[in-house]
Amino acid sequence: MPDLPNHAMEAEFGRLLVDQLAPEELPLFGAISRAFFADPKRARTPRGGGDEILGFGLAEAAGLLTPAVLAAASQLVLYFTEEVGKASAKAGADFAVEEVKRLFRREPAATKLNDAQLAEIRAIALGTARQFKLSNARAAMLADALVGHFLPGSSAP
Amino acid sequence: MTASRPASRRKSRLNPFVFPSDTSLRIILLFVFVIAADILQWSKLAIVRLDFARDLEKCLQGAPFFSMPIMQDLAKSQKCYTPLLSYQNLTIGLGLLLLTAATGTIYWWYPVWEARRLRLTPLDPAEAPGLSATLRELCVIAGLRHWPEFLWNPVNTSHLALAFGRGGTYRVGLTGALALLHHTDPAAFRAVLLHELAHIRNGDVERAYIAMALWWGFLLTAVPPYLFVELVSARSSFDAADAAGLLVEATLITGIVLFTRNAVLRARELYADARSFAWCRDEATFTRIFAGLRPVKGMRRLFSPHPSPARRRRLLDDTDEMFRFGFWDAFGAGAAASFIWVTFEFLVGAHFLQSLPMSMPIGTGTSFAVFVVPIAIWLPLVAGAASIAMWRTTLLALLRGETVRQVIRIAFALAAGVVLVVPTFLSAAILISATGGPAHQYVEQIAAPWSSILVAALGVTVLLTILLIGALVLFLQWVEACATSWLSVLLYSLSPRGPFWIGILVSSVLALSWFSLACIMFGVILYWLAVKHFSTLSIFWFLLIGNASFPANLITWVALVAFWGFPLSAGLWGLRGERKAYAEWPFLDAAPAEAPPIERPLRVRRALLIGLFGGLAAGVALPWLRLPLPPGALHEVGFPETALAAMIVSMALTSMAAQGAIAAVVALAVPKLLIPHAMFAAFVAGWLLTAAEALHLPTAMSLSSVVDVVLTPVVSGGALFALIVSSIMSALRLLADTTLGWLRSRHCACH
């Protein structure tokens, strides 16, 4: 089953990050990303999810990272679209989309991000990690990976 | 998967599924509590809604309604209480209807809500073929006749698996994080999923969701209506003390229901663990999983819906603790019993008050019915539950070569539950009112100092508890004797089910019989205490004669014969072949290849021979052994002062004493189960002694007279003597064994 076309970029970027941060999750990446983009609300922790009365929950085990990565990727797309749109309002929507793609792919022609934008990427990553109740270590790992990806001079994998 | 633990360290784990589980016992307890609490809440609502206390005060013209003169004045009581009773019956009916509807609806929709809450969708095998294949394999391991539908939420980041559903349509839901374990930690994945499938195999999915539905149904339909009516009715006069009282009351009632619900949930988890351990012997993985669970410490263990991980871990080594009846389970069963008793007492009392003709005085018959009928409803249930616990404990003791140590503990917990919870609470409330406390205007005042009342109340509570413990110890020891005799045979048979269920049925019926007899005896004793001329002999004699009339005679004979008949009938169960290995059913794992044989505790032939020869010898010697009667004895027992009457009474008493002596001999001659053997021998001897006594009677005496005047007193009186003597001998034997054991252990320690 293919990924939803309008989320292909986020999925592609997400797979890249999951491969880097939690490669063990790759076998289920396709199923998770399709489910996530079909209904991102499914990733929300249900009420009482911390203490399931009738289920077998492994409270101490580390949870999935993929949904958090995909959520962060979605947030970044929105953020970049907004930033690129602000910078080149007259160039049109198609240009913005292409520019965002270039950014994600780290093409040499892509706009260089400044320190404030990198700080915003870190903030987005940490905010998403909080939503997904990731541990501090995993949150920092996710933020570092995201920022590292967009750092000027970093090479494409 | 194989066990990582060396085989030599492992003892065979016992199969906790051979007898009804704690989950079943606790769900019954929950039902009882919820229904009784619902009735209580709605009856209080009726009182508050009608402002009945004020109306009653008017109707009784200021006299306290909780007083002997008012309670004995049926016409007045009917006149004053009828408006309440009709309304109360209506509200209770409405409350129960609402509870049923709410519970049923919640139960029905719970699985749908659960799937929506966790945002589960069907697992498409094309989406995760490996995962689906493993799940199918696990269903085969679990031996499920109908496979569950597997649902998942692949983006849920927490580790969770959940079996749910209703009425045979089951679902297992899993999160993405758990599904990932299939790739990262396949052993843990299998262990968790097998645990969930074990819930389905154990049939406890319905029970868990019924428990949840009962809790929510109660919380929605029983608590708020009463609180609302109470608050609305007492708008102006409601103060902080009233609010605190209301809060404490609501917390107590909901707390009991919640506590019982969580006990159900904890028990089912342990049984699912035990089942999954039998399917998957990967102890290292289970240990790792339990290490990752949140610990449940201290008092939280009593209130948590999850068992402590440490306890779950212990089940990997042995399941012995699942065979012991927990103190709080027994206490809860006792408390539930008294809760139902008081609730039904109230309902039956109200029914009698409404239906009795006004001309009829409230006498012993009515009081007896009001007292006994509610007990007859719950007693077989509690007796059945206690019997199941004893069968489990006895199986454990037999297979581990131990003695059953739980009798006194269970008896104490049950008795404490019965006496200390509802009756003590109600009595305390009435006593506080009776000594000038709150609501004193409704209760007849007692003119005695507080300290005396407190001492008297404590004395009565202690006395009742001790009496109840004594009766329960006797009953539980009898159940233990039945279980020992039957299990020593059934351990080599294919299945214990038939005799086990017959045993539980017999226990329940006998408990009811003994209770009825005890009530009759108590009533007779009370009656004779009220008569001026009485003596111990006259009370004793009339008790025995009273057993000749229907239905006491039927109850007595059934109780007498079943007492020794059921445990000793195990001796008739033939064992084929050599008894080298136990059957498979007692073990979760394979039965041990070599096990010490269980000694059959029955010596029926020995007891029969002692009974026969002892009875014959005493029968022949009866004319010379006759006990002398005290002066006026014949008059006391209502007989004419004739030689024949003297002979009948004297020979009957001698025969009873002879049966006591025969019981003592049997108790010395058999190694185990002293009391049933002794009772059997005494019964056999009783018939022979009756025959011997009948030889001395005039031939004109009718058979029915012989049965009433000779057979019934001799056999039932002899049984009483035999019971007392063999109980004393049994206690002495236990004391001697304990002392010897202690001395031996000291001796060993010294060397």
- Report the C-alpha gap between B159 and B181 in whole angstroms: 9
Taking Cα atoms as reference points, which of B327, B201, B336, B337 lies closest to residue B271?
B201
Return the DSSP state at A47.
T
CB–CB of B159 and A61 under 8 A?
A: yes
What's residue B501's pLDDT?
Answer: 94
The mean pLDDT of B661-667, rounded to a whole number, is 95
Which residue in chain A is spatially nearest to B261 when comparing CA positions? A53
Phi-psi region of B165 (alpha: psi -120 to 50; beta: other; left: phi over 0): left
pTM: 0.83
pLDDT digits (tens, 9 = 90+) for B232-283: 776 666 677 777 877 888 888 888 888 889 989 999 999 999 999 888 888 8
Say yes or no for a CB contact (<8 Å) between A45 and B118.
no
Residue of B nearest to A1 (CA): B127
Q: Which residue of A has its CA nearest to B265?
A: A54
A35 vs B155, B177, B289: nearest CB: B155
pLDDT tops 90 at residue B684: yes
Nearest-CA distance from A99 to chain B in Å?
Answer: 29
- AA letter at B282: D
Distance from CA of A73 to the nearest CA of B (A): 15
- Write out chain A residues lying below 8 Å of B195, CB-based: 56
Nearest-CB residue to B128 (from A24, A31, A36): A31
- Given this model, what pLDDT does residue B627 score? 81
Digit-coded pLDDT (tens) for B531-576: 656 777 777 787 777 777 777 788 888 888 999 999 999 888 765 5
Residues 134-153 of B with CB under 8 A from A: 153
Query: In chain A, which residues have their Cβ closer than 8 Å to the Cβ of B158?
Result: 45, 49-50, 57, 63
User: For the segment B381-408, what is each residue's pLDDT rounded down to a tens digit?
Assistant: 889 989 999 999 999 998 888 777 788 8
Which residues does B245 contact at the CB level (< 8 Å), separation at least 6?
A: none
Residue of A54, A59, A64 with shortest CB distance to B157: A64
pLDDT for position B105: 96
Distance CA A95, CA A110 (A): 12
Between the alpha carbon of residue B477 and those of residues B310, B405, B471, B565, the distances in Å are 32, 11, 10, 15
Give CA B190 to chain center in angstroms: 38
Quote ipTM for the complex: 0.85
pLDDT score of B32: 86
Task: Give B273→chain A minimum CA distance, Å.
Answer: 11
Residue A113 has pLDDT above 90, yes or no: no
Residue B174 touches chain A, beta carbons under 8 Å: no
Which of A154, A157, A146, A148 has the alpha carbon at shortest distance from A74?
Answer: A146
**3-class SS of residue A52:** coil
Residue from the list B119, B173, B180 with its beta carbon closest to the beta carbon of A64 = B180
pLDDT at position B312 over 80: yes
Q: Residue type at A147?
A: V
Q: What is the mean pLDDT of chain A?
A: 79
**Min Cα–Cα distance to chain B from A83, Å:** 29
Side chain identity at B164, as an amino acid letter? F
As a residue count, chain B comes to 751
**Closest-CA distance of chain B to residue A22, Å:** 11
**Contacts with A32 from chain B: Cβ below 8 Å:** 154-155, 176
Q: Does the beta carbon of B208 lie under 8 angstroms from any beta carbon of chain A?
A: yes
Distances, alpha carbon B640 to alpha carbons B98, B513, B636, B648, B649, in Å: 65, 33, 10, 11, 11
Q: Are B77 and B353 in contact (CB under 8 A)?
A: yes
How many CB atoms within 10 Å of residue A157? 8
Residue B645 sits at the vertex; the CA angle it makes with B643 and B648, to the nearest 5 degrees, is 110
B210 — contact with chain A (CB < 8 Å)? no
- Any idea which residue has 């633990």 for tokens? B5
Higher pLDDT, A43 or B393: B393
- Structure confidence by residue, pLDDT tens digits, B454-504: 888 888 888 888 988 988 998 999 999 999 999 988 888 888 989 999 999
pLDDT in tens, B357-379: 555 555 545 666 666 777 777 78
Sequence-distant (≥ 6) Cβ neighbours of residue B440 within 8 angstroms: B433, B434
Q: Model confidence over B198-209: pLDDT tens digits?
A: 999 998 999 999
- Residue in B with minimal Cα distance to A44: B156
CB < 8 Å to A65, chain B: 157
Cβ-nearest to A56 among B117, B121, B195: B195
Residue B459, burial from CB neighbour count under 10 angstroms (0-12, 13-18, 19+): exposed
Residue B521 to residue B507: CA distance in whole angstroms: 20
**Which tokens hold the place of B531?**
């008569």
Distance from the Cα of B388 to chain A's closest Cα (Å) equals: 27
